[in-house]
Amino acid sequence: MERIPILKMGRFLLVSIQVDMHDRLALQLQDDLTTRIADTGAQGVLIDISALEMVDSFIGRMLGNIAAMSSVLDARTVVVGMRPAVAITLVELGMSLPGVQTALDVEKGMELLAAVSG
């Protein structure tokens, strides 16, 4: 079964979503990521969605959930590289993901993570 790879980079975890998200994949990612945070004691999670072209309310909610779960495990989540069309869709769906921090690209996201986690 296909999985989204989770890479460890120092104190942070890097998740790059390069395939079309479907619901089971999203749930699998949620599972894997929380396990990895607990195992590694990571202080931050960076999710790169620059290749994601389509979102629905489920995927939107999943992003919000992942951020909430990570913060329970004491890791900050930064979502980077959201496309304009995806951003407009999420806003029109009424999901502005208030608990998620965002950045333009991976580089800025890493800076942000480094800054907020001290």
Partner 1 sequence: MADSRLPEIIRANETEILSSWMSSQLQSLTTRRDLLTEVDLHRESRDFLAALSRAASQGGVLEITSPSYAMVRDFLANLSASRARQGFSPGETATFVFSLKQALFSQIRKSTTDVQVLADETWAATVLVDKLGLFTAEMFQKSREQLIIRQQQEMMELSTPVVTLWRGILALPLIGTLDSARTQVVMENLLQRIVETGSVIAILDITGVPTVDTLVAQHLLKTVAAARLMGADCIISGIRPQIAQTIVHLGVELSTVTTKATLADAFAVALRRLDLRVTNGSGATPAPTSAPAHHANGAAETTGA
Query: Which residues would be at the binding site for partner 1 (CB under 8 A)?
Result: 79-84, 86-88, 90-92, 96-99, 101-105, 108-109, 111-112, 115-116
**Residue 84 CB neighbours (<10 A):** 7
The answer to whether 68 and 99 are in contact (CB under 8 A) is yes
Phi, psi of 88 (to 5 degrees): -65, -40
Q: Shortest gap between Cβ of 61 and partner 1 (angstroms)?
A: 14
CB-nearer residue toward partner 1: 36 or 66: 66
Q: Shortest gap between Cβ of 20 and partner 1 (angstroms)?
A: 19
Q: Report which DSSP code applies to 19.
A: S
